[in-house]
Amino acid sequence: MTTQTTAKTLGQSAVRTEIAAIFTVALIGLGIVFVAGHAQASALHDAAHDVRHATGFPCH
């Protein structure tokens, strides 16, 4: 009986953790879309260009 209770408690904890992770990822994603939507095109280009150089990816 205690094994079933422990498994049930662990299952509920895992679901709460999963919901919190989904909510956090959704919030970060919406933040990125909001910031990118309000930034000037040249600022986004410059940021992407700098990241490409920093990671060693040849961009031109």
Q: What is the pLDDT of residues 36-54, one digit of tens each?
A: 778 788 888 888 888 888 8
Look at 33 and 28; give whichever has higher pLDDT: 28
Q: Say if pTM beats, i.e. exceeds, 0.95.
A: no
pLDDT at position 13 = 80
Look at the alpha carbons of 42, 48, 51, 56 in this order and tell me if their dihedral is positive or negative: negative
Listed by start position, the domains of the chain span 2-54
Say if residue 1's pLDDT is above 70. no
Measure the CA–CA gap between 60 and 55, rounded to whole angstroms. Answer: 14
Length of the chain: 60
CA dihedral 51, 52, 56, 57 (to 10 degrees): 160
Return the DSSP state at 55. Answer: T
Return the DSSP state at 40. Answer: -
